[in-house]
Chain A
Amino acid sequence: MALNPFSSGTRLRDMIRAIRASKTAAEERAVVRRECAAIRTAISERGQEELRHRNMAKLMFIHMLGYPTHFGQMECLKLIAAVGYPEKRIGYLGLMLLLDERQEVLMLVTNSLKQDLNHSSPFIVGLALCALGNICSAEMARDLAPEVEKLLRSRDVNTKKKAALCSVRIVRKVPDLAENFMGLAASLLKEKHHGVLISAVQLCTELCKASKDALEYLRKNCIEGLVRILRDVSNSSYAPEYDVAGISDPFLHIRVLKLMRMLGQGDADCSEYMNDILAQVATKTESNKNAGNAILYECVETIMGIEATSGLRVLAINILGRFLSNRDNNIRYVALNILMRAITVDTQAVQRHRVTILECVKDADASIRKRALELVFLLVNDTNVKPLTKELVDYLDVADPDFKEDLTAKICSITEKFSQEKLWYLDQMFKVLSLAGNHVKDDVWHALIVVISNASELQGYAVRSLYTALRAYSEQGSLLRVAVWCIGEYGEMLVNNVGMLEAEPPITVTESDAVDAVELGFNRYSADVTTRSMCLVALLKLSSRFPSMSERIKLIVAQNKENMVLELQQRSIEFGSIIQRHQSIRSSLLERMPVLDEAAYLVKRASATQATTPAYKPASRVTPGDLKLPNGVAKPAAAPLVDLLDLSSDDAPVPSTSATTTPNDFLQDLLGIGGTNLPTAGVPSASTDILMDLLSIGSSPSQNGLLDSTSPGQAEKKPVSAVPQVVSPVPEPIDLLGSLSSSASSSAGTKSSTVVPQVVDLLDGLSASTSVSGLEDALPSITAFQSATLKIVFDLRKQLGKPQETTIHATFTNLTSTTYTDFIFQAAVPKFIQLRLDPASGNVVPASGKGSVTQGFNVTNSQHGQKPLAMRIRMSYKVNGEDRLEQGQVSNFPLGL
């Protein structure tokens, strides 16, 4: 053998030494490279076979260090195919480490495995079972399952337990095979040997997961056996070698309890059968050692999982209580874990441990803190939110810097979710901003600004509190931003102490102080571009609020005319010129921001955070009521309602329908939301649209058919047939009554005397509806847009079997007396919707509704069922050669599109 220490003749030991002796990574790489080269040579040369198994051992070591070893894979196969046991052993070890189930080479080994599974030596069988249990693929599982089945009947305990675990892997890969194993698995439970029992119980558990039949079979056949095993194990100490800290075989205990949970879940008979033994385990197991607690932990989980009696549940919750007060961190950690799960079963019981859990939030152990915080978050409700939040906010001051981010996020989440009054919400947020402003996420302080903007009577208080907080905690980034924004907007409230609350301490702030605060913020080294820009805007606004400060502000702004950041430079120059040269428009230009639309912001935020934070419960924050702020100011009435329906618009969904249409939209939406108050809503000043909507809301198929019956062809010939109300508003009230009454024929009868065309239409619709509904799902039409000049009606169709897709047929009607030319309709949808527009029937819309243009299009909602359809539309056209543009948002699509 060569003497060169790096030839393939080196022993494994020497190679490891050489690698360990390497002082640098490069040196280590060189050693490995030389070894690999030598091994490659040895592989390709004949006559080196006796080194094969040493080389394989080396390769395994090299593999562990993270170097590529694929060239050794074939050597593994050769070693496995060798006759001797030592070769096979190292070969199988290599197989499990260097190869995995995804490699094609693996199928070469199937045959060797098959032979070894049938080998006379139990050692070789053991090796093969072990390898199969670790890397078996679905294909191998099918090929080798009969062998493994046979081995389950073996008399050797080692073989039997390995075969059982091998079956676990086989069943996991090919669940269909479960039935072949269930009889054998049940009979294995009668064994005495603990290793076999553990393996058998695990096999049973896997079978329950894999197949319903197996679950039923095992429920019938092995529940008695399990109870007996558990009783034997917990009563006697007949197996001293399985004794862990005075408890007899905790592992077996745990496996059996786990299987019992699977069997007892949703099965009252099984659960009842287990009650006694579970009670016995729960009461008799000693809890002063880890092993005992492990059993109790599993026992509690099982009691929570099965249909246990209430007495047993009480017992379980008490055990958890004991766990929580345990000194051992591990025990407390698992206690918090089960409480998380128990909260869905019994919230009250968990609430009892609230104080202890709150203590755990302050634990030194990061794992425990994290768990406890999550649990507290789940425990918060309307009654305990104030004390809990106070505790958390107080702790924020001393919390670990690493933990502050989590803690801040949770506090913000809690205050937003449960704030019953605005003042309390503002106070908590100001505290959080002061203590951990650098950890507050953008959307949180954006929301805060929205709330302040809406709370007109608290704006003075807010700006003064923020000003005071800023003086003490100027290093907190988002505090600075919010404070600067408020000072800019409500500067005069700060100086004049407007809207003082009763308990509020008066402060004296001069105009110059306010400007100082903003200037200081601007000059903070930690302020980023966003903060600086906000400061500049605030200064500009202050220049209008405090005319006396105007000169000074001009100077401060002017300092940035050469700022390196382009944005700041540009703003500074623009603002400088506003202050200096445009005195006349300055005050109107720098008026307060209009009240921000709270609902719109919430909607936008919900859709933005939906993907990222699953625990956020976005659905629950869609409605404005969720922020439970009863003293919000009155808002422009219609807008939020429109937006309510628009759950998914990506941009700020300020409704751009012109002011004249607002009342219509409002009513429409009311009706669209739920038809319960149909008669009252329809009566007072019902405009044509409302009536039409009333009709379309109706759920009886005949009415749907009526509106759907307008085929595209009909619409062109008789443009207003879908919307007869536009032409002759007189008969509509009757129509309304007619369609509300249950029988279609009687309604037709009452009307026939008054108006002819509509009745014909109605009847037409009825007859047509039957033929149409077979192919397509009929849906009510909607008025997508209406202004003084233009009206758009959408006919909606759904292809059967394609719930995501909606075919929309739009009809455009000109309400003025001038013809529109060059009419173009455009639509935009959020990203999750796909839109395909067909060409329009023409680009001239005749005047006074004497004809209309139609256009079909198709939308596919990829998040059907989660997000509703939403759309923005834009119509451009020419009137007497003059360009006109109208746009709007369609948010009154029926639910479920």
Chain B
Amino acid sequence: MIQSVMVISTLGKPRLLKFYNFQDPQKHQELVLSIFQLLSVRPEGVSNFVETDAIFGPGTKLVYKHLATLYFVFVFDSSENELAMLDLVQVFVETLNRCFKNVCELDIVFNFNKLHTVLDEMILGGQVIETSSEEIMRSVEDIVGETIKHDKPHTKVDFAALQPLIFSSHFQDRIRRTLPEEIRLVFEFISTGLSVL
């Protein structure tokens, strides 16, 4: 299983972070830093694999590609084929290249959500879903097309979608007990609004 996909700049800034196993958001920056420290000292021409047992747990490795000012990093566990992962990084980069016509760091910085869309068409829940960059591009273009078609923003919230859950008192109690204050207030707001209706 792929544990994480990261794009890190050669200055150590995260450009894309995606974790398929839960990682505490507060730890994200530490992870980026420790990976960056691993990669930045590696000379040219050495193998693309680094063991990351200390960072992501036993048996994990990362494969990276250093292109221009970016490191493309895939972290995966022992059930994946290392060489195939290397090819997968290649597929990812190729797809981005098609997407942005000679991709550069700036494209990635400003379009990070598009990157996520590309990634979601390639990897789902840590498993490879599609390996042909052409297919991936086609899906992404369809999605973008679909988005533009509906570009006039719909602001109406479909309350019906939230309704049944909110009305069951069991859920309400549980939410009140467990939610952080801010979210709870929003929730109270919605549910009282609904009961008035």
Bound: A661/B183 CA distance, A: 75
Which A residues lie within 8 Å of B47 (CB)?
329-330, 332-333, 365, 367-368
Whether A366 lies near B46 (C-beta < 8 A) is: yes
Whether B132 lies near A250 (C-beta < 8 A) is: no
**B-binding segment of A102-110, A503-511, A740-748:** A102-110
Nearest Cβ on chain B to A193's Cβ, whole angstroms: 9
Which B residues lie within 8 Å of A367 (CB)?
46-47, 49-51
Which A residues lie within 8 Å of B147 (CB)?
85-86, 89
Whether A202 lies near B128 (C-beta < 8 A) is: yes
| A735 at the binding interface (Cβ < 8 Å) | no
Nearest Cβ on chain B to A331's Cβ, whole angstroms: 8
Bound: A337/B88 CA distance, A: 20
- Which of the listed residues B81, B151, B162, B180 has the most CB atoms from chain A within 10 Å of its own CB? B81
| A13 at the binding interface (Cβ < 8 Å) | yes
Which A residues lie within 8 Å of B192 (CB)?
none
| B10 at the binding interface (Cβ < 8 Å) | no
A330-B151 CB under 8 A given contacts A104-B178, A254-B81: no
Bound: A367/B49 CA distance, A: 7
Which A residues lie within 8 Å of B116 (CB)?
60, 93, 96-97
Which A residues lie within 8 Å of B49 (CB)?
330, 333-334, 367
Nearest Cβ on chain B to A31's Cβ, whole angstroms: 15
Which B residues lie within 8 Å of A242 (CB)?
131-132
Nearest Cβ on chain A to B168's Cβ, whole angstroms: 10
Whether B113 lies near A93 (C-beta < 8 A) is: yes
Whether B128 lies near A198 (C-beta < 8 A) is: yes
Whether A53 lies near B153 (C-beta < 8 A) is: yes
Whether A74 lies near B158 (C-beta < 8 A) is: no
Binary interface profile of A, 311-346, with partner B (CB < 8 Å = 1, else 0)?
000000000000000000111111001000000000
Whether A16 lies near B81 (C-beta < 8 A) is: no
Closest to A402 in B: B41
**B-binding segment of A290-298, A594-602, A694-702:** A290-298
Which residue in B42, B125, B151, B155 is a CB contact (below 8 Å) of A165?
A: B125
| B112 at the binding interface (Cβ < 8 Å) | yes
**B-binding segment of A63-71, A210-218, A603-611, A777-785:** A63-71
Which B residues lie within 8 Å of A166 (CB)?
124-125
Whether A194 lies near B132 (C-beta < 8 A) is: yes
**B-binding segment of A75-83, A403-411, A431-439, A820-828:** A75-83
Which A residues lie within 8 Å of B84 (CB)?
250-251, 254, 294, 298
A104-B158 CB under 8 A given contacts A195-B129, A337-B82, A367-B46: no
Which B residues lie within 8 Å of A112 (CB)?
161-162
| B57 at the binding interface (Cβ < 8 Å) | no
Q: Which of A120-138 contact B (CB under 8 A)?
A: 121, 123, 126, 129-130, 133-134, 136
Closest to A61 in B: B112
Nearest Cβ on chain A to B191's Cβ, whole angstroms: 11
Which residue in B14, B42, B150 is a CB contact (below 8 Å) of A86?
A: B150
Whether A195 lies near B135 (C-beta < 8 A) is: yes
Q: Which of B79-99 contact A (CB under 8 A)?
A: 79, 81-84, 86-88, 90-91
Whether A107 lies near B162 (C-beta < 8 A) is: no
Whether A241 lies near B132 (C-beta < 8 A) is: yes
Nearest Cβ on chain A to B60's Cβ, whole angstroms: 14
Whether B82 lies near A334 (C-beta < 8 A) is: yes
Closest to A161 in B: B129
Bound: A57/B43 CA distance, A: 36
Whether A364 lies near B87 (C-beta < 8 A) is: no
Bound: A436/B165 CA distance, A: 67
| A101 at the binding interface (Cβ < 8 Å) | yes
Bound: A65/B151 CA distance, A: 28
| A100 at the binding interface (Cβ < 8 Å) | yes
Bound: A367/B159 CA distance, A: 55
Which B residues lie within 8 Å of A57 (CB)?
113
Whether B109 lies near A330 (C-beta < 8 A) is: no
Whether A86 lies near B125 (C-beta < 8 A) is: no
Chain B interface category by residue count: 35 or more
Bound: A74/B153 CA distance, A: 19
Closest to A43 in B: B186
Which A residues lie within 8 Å of B149 (CB)?
85
Binary interface profile of B, 128-164, with partner A (CB < 8 Å = 1, else 0)?
1111101100010011001101111111111101111
| B127 at the binding interface (Cβ < 8 Å) | yes
| A50 at the binding interface (Cβ < 8 Å) | yes
Which B residues lie within 8 Å of A258 (CB)?
79, 81
Nearest Cβ on chain A to B18's Cβ, whole angstroms: 8
| B20 at the binding interface (Cβ < 8 Å) | yes
Nearest Cβ on chain B to A611's Cβ, whole angstroms: 16
Which A residues lie within 8 Å of B130 (CB)?
161, 195, 198
Which B residues lie within 8 Å of A330 (CB)?
47-49, 82-83, 86
| B35 at the binding interface (Cβ < 8 Å) | no
Which A residues lie within 8 Å of B182 (CB)?
70-71, 74
Which residue in B14, B120, B183 is a CB contact (below 8 Å) of A73?
A: B183
Q: Which of A655-713 contact B (CB under 8 A)?
A: none
Closest to A49 in B: B155
| B69 at the binding interface (Cβ < 8 Å) | no
| A168 at the binding interface (Cβ < 8 Å) | yes
Closest to B145 in A: A123
| A554 at the binding interface (Cβ < 8 Å) | no
A105-B179 CB under 8 A given contacts A100-B22, A194-B132: yes
Whether B22 lies near A130 (C-beta < 8 A) is: no
Which A residues lie within 8 Å of B88 (CB)?
251
Which A residues lie within 8 Å of B25 (CB)?
63, 66, 68-69
Closest to A257 in B: B81
| A793 at the binding interface (Cβ < 8 Å) | no
Which B residues lie within 8 Å of A84 (CB)?
150, 152-154
Which A residues lie within 8 Å of B17 (CB)?
64
| B187 at the binding interface (Cβ < 8 Å) | yes
Binary interface profile of A, 237-254, with partner B (CB < 8 Å = 1, else 0)?
001011010000111101
Nearest Cβ on chain A to B65's Cβ, whole angstroms: 11
Q: Which of A349-370 contact B (CB under 8 A)?
A: 364-368, 370
A interface residues (Cβ-Cβ under 8 A, vs B): 13, 16, 20, 43, 49-50, 52-53, 57, 60-61, 63-66, 68-71, 73-74, 77-78, 80-87, 89-90, 93, 96-97, 100-102, 104-105, 107-108, 110-112, 115, 121, 123, 126, 129-130, 133-134, 136, 158, 161-162, 165-166, 168-169, 194-195, 198-199, 202, 239, 241-242, 244, 249-252, 254-255, 258, 290-291, 293-294, 297-298, 329-334, 337, 364-368, 370
- Per CB-CB distance, the 7 closest pairs between chain A and chain B, nearest first, are A84-B154, A294-B83, A329-B47, A49-B155, A133-B125, A66-B29, A365-B46
Known: A74-B183, A111-B163, A123-B142. 12 other contacts (CB 8 A): A60-B116, A73-B183, A96-B116, A97-B18, A129-B124, A134-B125, A169-B125, A195-B131, A294-B81, A294-B82, A329-B47, A334-B83
A to B CB contacts below 8 Å, 22 in the list: A49-B155, A53-B153, A65-B14, A69-B25, A78-B157, A93-B116, A97-B116, A100-B22, A111-B163, A123-B146, A165-B124, A165-B129, A198-B131, A199-B129, A242-B131, A290-B86, A298-B84, A329-B46, A329-B47, A334-B82, A364-B46, A367-B47
